[in-house]
Structure formats: structure tokens, C-alpha cells
A and B are shown apart, each in its own frame.
Chain A
Amino acid sequence: MINISNLTSKRIKEYLAKGKRFDGRKLDEFREIKIECGISKKAEGSAEVQIGKTKVLVGVKMLVVEPYDDSPDKGNLMVTAEVTPMSHPKYELGPPKFLAIELGRLVDRGIRESGYIDFDKLCIKAGEKVWGVFIDVYSINDDGNLLDASFIGALAALKSAKMPVYDAKEEKINYDKKGTKPIPLTKNLPINFNVYKAGEVIFLDPSIEEETASEGKLTVGIIPEKPIRICSMQKGDTMEISPEKFGEMLDLIEKKHKTFIGEINNKIDKAIKELK
């Protein structure tokens, strides 16, 4: 498999340094985002998200499980991501590699640390039975920025999900009845931003070529309050960031988040409305 060449990477960096991109976008401009909910009939909630040609499926499944010892009265959250070979020739079958693990962790941390899911309300019987929320991410096509697509997908799937009916007498889930209650969510709707750095340039929403050309990324999960609350953060890959660059990255997020979150929210709400 021939990787995107060093020649092309050099050209991309040269062009980025001028503040321009191959597809004519601005440095902080996203490709067109499409969200569709209710993809899977068997899952409690599901969503398909497209950013340009990048496409991911996200499903939410709920089961009754035993709580962890350190949180006996709280529900569980588990995020797993799979990067399938059909999404790009560079991915292969087998146990999850670094990218798939990182993808799952970043989505998990962004949602968990923001407190978006009200875990206290997911408790059925303290110390014995709680609801477990399972989020599964599958990549269908990778044209760069799987991370943002997966996170938006997870939000849409969570928001559109309906809890299954728990039969207290039989002590198991009654799948014959159709759930109507949504998952208990709080107002802390988080959003993840992945800021990529190539040379001295920082930009959002890379295509797959730009992703390869970049040295690394900073993932920041924020809650859009006033002032903005940062709930999770991770630096990816083997790059170094100077304190000034770091400040610039946070400024970019601060500038971008208002319009972006509004747009995403509207699209998710519209997708859920179309579902009904």
C-alpha cells in the first residue's frame, strides 16, 4: 500500500503556510456535515455522520449490568471503536490498533468527563444493578477527521436513543415493549475539537492527506458555558507545542465553538425530528 507521498506532504505544508488548502477551504472551515439518526433498528439509538467523504456509524446499546465497585450507585459507560478495512486500505483486520483504541478513548473521555450522561439516574439498585451504556463506533470511510465525526455521531446517537423497558419483577429487560424514555442527559452538552498542527500552521477538519502531512493534534473537549469549561484534553502523536502555539490553539477553539456547536445541535435535532 503506497502511502500519501512525502512529495505531496511537502506541497500541502507549503500551501498551508500560505494559509490556503487544496480544497479551497479556510484553515478553520469544516467540510459539509450530514447527520442521520435511526440507522439501526436493533440499537437503542444510532447515527450516521458524514464530514465530506468521511463516514462513520455510531450505535448506542443499553444493558443491565453490575456496577463497578468504586461507583456502586452509578451507571456505566463503555465506548469501543472499530476502524474497518473498508474505510481505507491502510487499515487491516484484527485486534484494534493504536488509532482505534485512541478513537474510543477520546470519545469516551469527552462524554464521561463532561457529565453529559446523568449516571446517577441510571442506577436501578445500588450495588447490584445499573444501566450500562455501550457506544460503538464503526468507520465506513476515512477521508480524514474520523475523530470529530465519531464524537458528533456519539452525541447524535445518545440524544436519539430510547431506553429499553426494565421489568423489575422478572429482573431483566423486556424487549417486547418499546421504550419511550430517553437516556437521562444533563445540560452539559460537550463538543470535541481536534486542532491539527503542520509546521507552524494550525487548522481544523483535515482531509486524509492533510492528516498524514500534519505532525500531530490536540484534542480538547469543551462545554460551551460562559466562560468555556474545558472538560478533557489530549495531545496526540509525537509533536511538541510551544506555550504560544498552545494558546493559539485554544483561541481558535474559543473563536470557532459558538457557530459550530449551534450548527451541530440544529443538525442533530433535525435528524431526530425526521426520525419520528
Chain B
Amino acid sequence: MTDKEKREIVIPGEVVATGSEHLPGDNTIRQKDNILAQRYGIVEKSGKLVKIIPLSGIFAPRRGNVIIAQVSDITFNGWLADIGIANNSFLPVADVPKYLDKNNLAEFLDIGDFFTAKIKSVKSKGIDLTLEGRGLGRLDGGMTFIINPNKVPRVIGKEGSMIKIIKDETDCRITVGQNGLVWIKGDKIENEIKARKAIEFVTKKTLINGLTNKVQEFLRGVGG
């Protein structure tokens, strides 16, 4: 998106586009000739398709999302996890690509531990998680904190540009879960705090154009 184009913010029920040449995308609905917004957010038009990137609301789980979860209970064949939404989520032992002692699952993941996982399926009875994928598993050390899940795409940036700047400037390992949980680990606590402040800075100023440059300035300013 160029600087000339305005970021249009709409509220539910507002007319986003008129005419049959447009197609309703995510979070929009067609009513006769108009396309109406269903969420509060930014309008994005790509070709014929009109969609809305929401600015508020809860995390809506989808297949393939990488999230950060906390173990809430251990059963005989897996772990129950909390990912910050109403639905239950479950990680079966079969979806852990590693040899495990079935009698002592707590050794791998104990109650209260945090881990990254991928959403395998979303069903009405709950969400199934899997650890099959690169870099998924238990999180050791570092710190976690919560941001608004709707700001996650902005924190990551286009093709990971924003998060890459923060990682490079602070020398930290960062994982941003789609559910709004962020994990940071660095050599020094100071660096972790710096990275955290940068991420919180991004979530506060999502609507500004050219945010990546501002973040770079911000990080250098904090570093002194």
C-alpha cells in the first residue's frame, strides 16, 4: 500500500463498496448492491475482492495457525492446553514427533509450561494441536506477554519485515503466536525488555504509515 492511499476505517454496517463489480471477502457481507462491513477494522481492496482486517475482537482459531499455549492439564494420552479463547484445545501424544515415556508425560510438558504448536483442526468440540513442524515445542526461559491478537499481523510485518528488525536490533529470539502471546528470549534481560517495548510500541501505533522506520528509530533511541 502506498502512502497516497488512505487507510479507511469502518464500523459494522458501514457500506464498504457499491456495485456488482466488487466481491465480498473476509468479514464483509453483500446486501443487494452494497458490500457491508461486519467488523470494525481497516478496508483492504485487492482487485475485485474487498476484505476487512479487524482491529478488535478475540482470536479466531484457524487451521495452520502457529500459537503459544499453556498446559492446563495432563490426561493419559495428551495435554489439555489454554490458548486464550473459550474453546478447549488438546495436544495428543501421537502428534508429538519424539519418543515419550507415556507413564511420565509431565517430564516433557508439565502443567503451567508454555509451548508453541500448530492448530491441526478446529471442530465444534474443540481444537486439536500438533507439534509436527519446525521449531515447535516447549519454551524454556525468556518471558511471555500478551498483546491484542488483531495486532499480530502488524507486529510480524510484511513477510516478517517488522519482527526481523526487532530481532536484529535486540539480538533476541522472538516467537509471536497468532493468539497474541509473544515469547522473547535473549542473552540479557535488558534486551528482552527492549524487544518487548518495541513490540508494544508497534501495537500502539498500528495505523501509522512507514512504521518500520519508526520502530528502527525507536529501538536505537531506547538503546541510547
* Chain A residues within CB distance 8 Å of chain B: 1-8, 11, 14-15, 22, 209
Chain A: minimal CB distance from B51 (Å): 29
A8 — which chain B residues lie within 8 A by C-beta?
143-145
Kindly identify, within residues 101 to 148 of chain B, every residue whose CB is under 8 Å from any CB belonging to chain A.
112, 114, 139, 141-146
A67 to B184: give the CA distance in the assembly, Å: 58
Chain B: minimal CB distance from A216 (Å): 20
Given contact pairs A7-B139, A8-B143, A11-B142, A2 touches B82 in the complex (Cβ within 8 A): yes
CB–CB A7/B143 < 8 A? yes
Residue in A2, A7, A15, A22 whose beta carbon sits within 8 Å of that of B142 in the complex:
A7
A209 to B84: give the CA distance in the assembly, Å: 17
The 8 closest A-B pairs by CB, nearest first: A8-B143, A11-B143, A5-B144, A2-B84, A15-B189, A2-B70, A2-B82, A7-B143
A209 — which chain B residues lie within 8 A by C-beta?
145
B193 — which chain A residues lie within 8 A by C-beta?
22
A4 to B182: give the CA distance in the assembly, Å: 12
When C-beta atoms are compared, the residue in chain B nearest to A14 turns out to be B189
Chain A: minimal CB distance from B96 (Å): 21
A7 — which chain B residues lie within 8 A by C-beta?
114, 139, 141-144, 183
Given contact pairs A11-B189, A11-B192, A1 touches B142 in the complex (Cβ within 8 A): no
A22 — which chain B residues lie within 8 A by C-beta?
193, 196
A11 — which chain B residues lie within 8 A by C-beta?
142-143, 189, 192
- B181-224: CB near A (< 8 Å → 1, else 0) gives 10100000100110010000000000000000000000000000
- B153-185: CB near A (< 8 Å → 1, else 0) gives 000000000000000000000000000010100
Q: Number of B interface residues, CB 8 Å? A: 19
A15 to B181: give the CA distance in the assembly, Å: 21
B83 — which chain A residues lie within 8 A by C-beta?
2
A2 to B114: give the CA distance in the assembly, Å: 10
CB–CB B114/A5 < 8 A? yes
B145 — which chain A residues lie within 8 A by C-beta?
4, 8, 209
B82 — which chain A residues lie within 8 A by C-beta?
1-2
CB–CB A2/B146 < 8 A? yes
A100 to B82: give the CA distance in the assembly, Å: 26
CB–CB A6/B112 < 8 A? yes
- The winner among B83, B143, B181 for most chain A CB atoms within 10 A is B143
Chain A: minimal CB distance from B41 (Å): 22
A14 — which chain B residues lie within 8 A by C-beta?
189
A1 to B192: give the CA distance in the assembly, Å: 24
A152 to B27: give the CA distance in the assembly, Å: 45
A1 to B181: give the CA distance in the assembly, Å: 12
CB–CB B141/A5 < 8 A? no
Q: Given known contacts A2-B83, A5-B143, A22-B193, what 9 new A-B pairs fall within 8 Å (CB)?
A: A2-B146, A2-B181, A3-B70, A7-B142, A7-B143, A7-B144, A8-B145, A11-B142, A15-B189
Some 20 contacts from A to B, beta carbons below 8 A apart, are: A1-B82, A1-B84, A2-B82, A2-B84, A2-B146, A2-B181, A3-B70, A5-B70, A5-B143, A6-B112, A7-B114, A7-B142, A7-B143, A7-B144, A7-B183, A8-B145, A11-B143, A14-B189, A15-B189, A22-B196
B144 — which chain A residues lie within 8 A by C-beta?
5, 7-8
A14 to B83: give the CA distance in the assembly, Å: 27
Chain B: minimal CB distance from A21 (Å): 10
When C-beta atoms are compared, the residue in chain A nearest to B84 turns out to be A2
B70 — which chain A residues lie within 8 A by C-beta?
2-3, 5
A11 to B183: give the CA distance in the assembly, Å: 12
When C-beta atoms are compared, the residue in chain A nearest to B141 turns out to be A7
B141 — which chain A residues lie within 8 A by C-beta?
7
When C-beta atoms are compared, the residue in chain B nearest to A9 turns out to be B143
A11 to B84: give the CA distance in the assembly, Å: 22
When C-beta atoms are compared, the residue in chain A nearest to B146 turns out to be A2
Chain A: minimal CB distance from B87 (Å): 13
When C-beta atoms are compared, the residue in chain B nearest to A8 turns out to be B143
A3 to B82: give the CA distance in the assembly, Å: 10
When C-beta atoms are compared, the residue in chain A nearest to B112 turns out to be A6
Chain A: minimal CB distance from B62 (Å): 19
A26 to B146: give the CA distance in the assembly, Å: 24
